[in-house]
Amino acid sequence: MGYFDVDDVLADAVEVPCKFQLEVAQVGFLAGQPGESVARNSKLELPLWLARILAIVGAGDGEGDGDGDTPFVELLPPDTFAARVMNAVKADPVALDLHAVSPYFYALAVKWVNLFSDAELGETVARLLLARAQEINSNAANVTLVERTLDDLAGPLASRQNGVHHSSPFMLTMDEWEKTVYKEAHEAYRDSKKWLLQ
Amino acid sequence: MYGDLGNKLIIEAKRTQQLQSRRNGIRDGTANVSIPQYNDALVRGIIAEVEQIRESGAGGDAAAGQCAHFVNLLCLERNKRCLLSYHKMRSEIMDGMAWAGTAGDVLSGGGGATDSTLSDQLGNLSHSEQSYLQQYTDLLTQMKSAPAFADIDLAGSLTPPSDIFIDVRVLKDAGEIQTEYGTFNLVKDSQFYVRQSDVESLIQQGYLQKI
């Protein structure tokens, strides 16, 4: 999650819907019309790295900490955390295609919870992670010490193409962070099995 | 929109990382590092974009002006982060090369390289990266020869050896070496049964191959 972390940079580029609270000239490029102004109350999809700051900083008279001002934009809840998705999460975490919802679901959720102190979302995501972690673990525990299965480390997609190692459909629904968890778990299982057999 | 170029660069970085981890997975930890072509066009594009944002000079005292100013500032920050992240990712690969001992082969343009993939690597680095790799390698050599580390082989393999003596095959002529078990004349394609610790550095340099 560091400044240089490629995954984090990518997660920051996810676009979220925003509503402009005031008319702003010179930023028409945000809406794909360079040189134009963005009208008040217009809705735009802005990347998180832009929206996050604009939503907490407001125009002031140059003094004060900006708390009393209206922020430049208002963040609208993105589709990622729509009630539809949250219901699916509560219904069956394992069956949910998380990758389709957002490849950076957890990273987004963490940012969102931080922004809005949304405790309920935090708890839902924690339960989601708990349920899915068990599934990830049982997938990762499937180790055979054959050279070709090492291809699995490249990710579930590669193993599907090779067709060597039977991967469950669940592996295709993992988000990017879950993939790294899977990869590390798989490597740990492989290493311990190797050690036991030696 | 501003920032799109930076995104492209980061997607490329992500792909490189995935390839890297995949390769390391297959070779099981043995360092085989390769670095893709430096994306000069994209980096130049981003820098041009930064210049453009700076020159646009949006701003003003009104709330709208402040907002425009903020947007521009954030775009600059974003581009900076994308560029830094990309270059950090590449410098980490280069550090790996230096530690794996392949940096010398890469820098010499593959002249003495045993692995043909190494010879293409030099062209994939930008000029600054070449001098970075050179200086990092020099620094590493200096550290390895420092009195404090004189007794430790810092670049040695982390996996404990399974045998004291190993069979090695000579890949290219390396002249004579002397060990406490006698003198070996390393002629190409010959085989020897030697003590592993004696020839470890030669294996790393690519003169010998463990069988």
pLDDT per position as a tens digit, B122-173: 778 888 998 998 999 889 888 888 888 877 777 777 777 777 888 888 888 7
Q: What is the dihedral of CA A15, A17, A22, A27, to 10 degrees?
A: 30
What was the pLDDT predicted at A145? 60
How far is the C-alpha of B22 from the C-alpha of B28, rounded, in Å?
Answer: 10
Topology of domain A79-198, CATH: Methane Monooxygenase Hydroxylase; Chain G, domain 1 (1.20.58)
Cβ–Cβ < 8 Å for B197, B181: no
- Indicate the SS3 state at residue B107: helix
Per-residue pLDDT tens listing for chain A (198 residues): 688 988 888 888 888 888 888 887 777 777 777 777 778 888 888 888 888 888 887 765 444 444 456 788 888 888 888 888 888 888 888 888 888 888 899 988 988 888 888 888 899 999 999 999 999 998 888 776 654 444 445 555 544 444 445 567 888 888 889 988 998 998 899 888 888 887
Cβ–Cβ < 8 Å for A86, A120: no
pTM greater than the 0.80 cutoff: no
Q: Which residues of chain B have pLDDT under 70?
A: 23-33, 58-61, 105, 108-120
Residue among B7, B13, B71 whose CB faces A27 most closely: B71
How far is the C-alpha of B124 from the C-alpha of B106, rounded, in Å?
Answer: 10
Q: Which residues, in sequence order, are bridge partners of residue B191? A: B169
Query: How close is the nearest chain B Cα to the Cα of A98, in Å?
Result: 20
Q: What are phi and psi of B173, to 5 degrees?
A: -60, 135
Query: Tokens 């581009």 correspond to what residue?
Result: B79
CATH of the domain spanning A1-76: 1.20.58.2050
Instruction: Tell me the chain A residues in contact with residue B21 when contact means C-beta distances shorter than 8 Å.
Output: 153-154, 183
Residue among A12, A57, A150 whose CB faces B70 most closely: A57
How far is the C-alpha of B62 from the C-alpha of A156, rounded, in Å?
Answer: 52
Length of chain A: 198
How far is the C-alpha of A69 from the C-alpha of A60, rounded, in Å?
Answer: 6
DSSP label at A61?
S
What was the pLDDT predicted at A132? 92
Cβ–Cβ < 8 Å for B202, B208: yes
Q: What are phi and psi of A185, to 5 degrees?
A: -65, -45
Token reading at A189: 């299982």
Cβ–Cβ < 8 Å for B3, B79: yes
What was the pLDDT predicted at A59? 61
Contact check, Cβ <8 Å, A154/B25: yes
Residue among B3, B7, B63 whose CB faces A59 most closely: B63
What was the pLDDT predicted at A60? 57
CATH of the domain spanning B4-144: 1.20.58.1030
Q: What is the dihedral of CA B55, B61, B66, B68, to 10 degrees?
A: -40
Q: Which residue of B has its CA nearest to A59?
A: B63
What was the pLDDT predicted at B46? 92
Q: What is the dihedral of CA B15, B17, B21, B26, to 10 degrees?
A: 50
DSSP states of B147-186 as a string? GGGTTS-TTS-SSPPS-SEEEEEESS--EEEEETTEEEEE
What was the pLDDT predicted at A153? 52
C-alpha distances (whole Å) from A189 to each of A20, A48, A134, A177, A180 are: 50, 36, 14, 19, 14
